[in-house]
Chains A and B, each alone.
Chain A
């Protein structure tokens, strides 16, 4: 209980920090040097987050990359296995997109939007630790052709700022 109490104190302090500063500091921002960002010349047209700690970066042609946030990767600990989805799987928003095992925990990963899996990140088979090293870049989990780019504008998907705020409220 003392432990929880002191954490809350730290968070309360953090809240008084200016938002812009936080955004610049955010570790949950997409890595601009990796495929999920560089896939198209102009970069992703939308980057959104879920309350279940997934991120999605969608490009103009309807291709999107999905992964888990730095916050989730840190909270779960060292990844030991990534269960990737099947290519061609058709997904509804909220459907399982695989799972991640870390320190004896199996955690489900959900698709933020409806779409079809077109590619999975095979490098995670041999190097699950990438999830801890670069969860918002090299460790993307699946490449999905989204049914509609408009789905990225749905209210239940969060902007980076909203996601960061939800972390502060949640814990």
Chain B
């Protein structure tokens, strides 16, 4: 039975909710609510219960105030008090969290959403990693700590953890056009972000992980808002509008948890993405090694279907998330100035470090013209070009692109 309940993951929050209500309603048996509330004996008991449940979880508060409404006017002021508390409890107008608040929130069981106001891709990935690593997993296997993050990055070119940057990106073009190079912590292929693209990240347990799940939710939410649009999942689980991809996905599984993060092109400057991602083959250059290949796809914006802004997309997802879980899941804001923890700032620096970006990917061998280079941990471990062994591959590439070699005139 436990297994069955857990399998019904999308609604288990609702089940839990109703179960706890039943349990609570049962507990009012010791006193009769129909009795005169001014009777001292009962008012004392009622007050005890009132105090007991004040400041408890929101569902209990709701019930206590309902119980008291059936009583006489004596409790009117307390009803007001409850209302004030309710308003506070249910105040979902987003707050920017401090680092300490985020730390506490993340480690506390329960669902929530976070929207980052930072446009720094390294910081945003670090926040995501922090939430992922610190979300608790119950030992008994049940999980209701789903989290959903949103962030919009400044112009950047992002590759998967197990990819080779020079193979995937025209790094020189990225740099000259102001697209930062980012290597994420999840798998998958290369993708371009700008301010017209929303990144969403859905965190759940490893047991509940199913690649298509969250994109199916998004398709349902978008279609509900605009039923006339032709939005669907393709065979790879990516969201498409008509026949073009509008979203890409990557996943990470660790420590009994998983996340699915994806991009949604809302009103990105797609024309300027040209010349940033490399095609699968370039004459004269041959890559081999375990690096994961990108799957090239034509893309479009969901703006073409009438969705106007990144915020509209985020709002649709926030509403959708709450309806999926039948719970008023709160939204919090974070930004790079207010929401700092040592851990997040360290990860931000690591993600932006040359070591992570250029020296930590899979080992590979590349043939340029008639020369061969084998690279491990960013260092050339073997080469048919004299004196290159032991040099850093990135340094070599910089020299190559500066046309410093007589015998090898190519750029990568």
Contact = CB atoms under 8 A, between A and B. Distances in A.
Contacts, number: 91
| Chain B at the A interface: SS class | loop
Contacts of B258: 105
Interface in B219-266: 249-256, 258
A5 B290 contact: no
Interface stretch (A24-32, A33-41, A75-83, A137-145): A75-83
B26 to A, nearest CB: 28
A101 B3 contact: no
Contact of B161 (A1, A52, A82, A101): A101
B320 interface: no
A125 B362 CA distance: 9
Contact of B253 (A51, A80, A106): A106
14 contacts: A1-B11, A5-B4, A8-B7, A51-B256, A81-B187, A101-B161, A101-B162, A101-B187, A104-B250, A106-B252, A106-B253, A108-B253, A125-B363, A168-B3
Contacts of B292: 80-81, 101
B136 interface: no
Interface residues of B, number: 37
A126 interface: yes
Given A105-B258, A108-B255, 18 more contacts: A1-B10, A5-B8, A7-B7, A8-B3, A52-B206, A52-B255, A80-B292, A81-B292, A103-B187, A104-B187, A104-B211, A105-B250, A105-B252, A105-B253, A106-B251, A107-B253, A126-B290, A170-B207
B141 A170 contact: yes
A170 B252 CA distance: 20
B46 interface: no
Given A101-B161, A105-B253, A108-B255, A1 B290 contact: no
Interface of A: 1, 4-5, 7-8, 11, 51-52, 76, 80-83, 99, 101-108, 125-126, 128, 168-171
A77 B249 CA distance: 15
Nearest to A15: B3
Interface of B: 2-4, 6-11, 141, 160-162, 185-189, 206-207, 211, 249-256, 258, 289-293, 362-363
A170 B3 contact: yes
Contacts of B11: 1
A83 B162 contact: yes
Contacts of B253: 76, 105-108
